[in-house]
């Protein structure tokens, strides 16, 4: 499998590109959230949080991920900035707010999961290339 990864600062990610976040939870489970554009000019960013806890295998393919996400309760919240959206995501999972964000660019959700688990990070922000 060809893996090309690059880490960029939040400001280098296109405004219309979705930023996904995964959390390394106890018992090998994964938490998942997403930051995207909303349709409201006053609060242009949408935070989508899935209440479910997922297994790494759930991220093997888009179809697998779509299937498990569709069965999980979704919470959304619109905010003014991407950093606010990211910090809202962190707060949902009881993680302290950040001032700077590094985003990993990967080819697949599976690749992001593998990277997070290998690094033993508590969470990882990523975009799909």
CA distances from 88 to 31, 44, 79 (A): 14, 14, 9
Per-domain residue ranges of the chain: 7-128
CA distances from 49 to 4, 69, 71, 115, 127 (A): 27, 10, 13, 21, 16
Model pLDDT for residues 79-119, shown as the tens digit of each residue = 999 999 999 999 999 999 999 999 999 999 999 999 999 99
3-state secondary structure of 75: strand
Rounded-to-integer distance, Cα 44 and Cα 36, Å: 9
Mean pLDDT of 120-127: 96
Mean pLDDT of 69-79: 95
Whether residue 43 is predicted with pLDDT greater than 70 in this model: the reply is: yes
Rounded-to-integer distance, Cα 53 and Cα 30, Å: 6
Mean pLDDT of 42-59: 95
Whether residue 3 is predicted with pLDDT greater than 80 in this model: the reply is: no
Per-chain mean pLDDT for the chain: 93
pLDDT bracket for residue 1 (50, 70, 90) = very low
Mean pLDDT of 71-83: 96
């Amino acid at each position: 499998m060809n893996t090309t990864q690059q880490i960029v600062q939040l400001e280098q990610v296109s405004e219309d590109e979705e930023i996904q976040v995964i959390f390394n939870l106890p018992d090998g489970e994964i938490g998942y959230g997403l930051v995207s554009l909303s349709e409201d000019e006053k609060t242009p960013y949408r935070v989508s949080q899935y209440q479910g806890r997922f297994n790494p295998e759930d991220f093997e393919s888009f179809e697998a991920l779509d299937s498990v996400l569709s069965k999980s309760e979704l919470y959304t919240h619109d905010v003014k900035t991407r950093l606010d959206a990211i910090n809202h995501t962190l707060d949902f999972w009881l993680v302290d707010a950040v001032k700077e964000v590094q985003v990993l660019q990967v080819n697949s959700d599976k690749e992001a999961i593998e990277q997070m688990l290998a690094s033993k990070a508590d969470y990882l922000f990523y975009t799909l290339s």
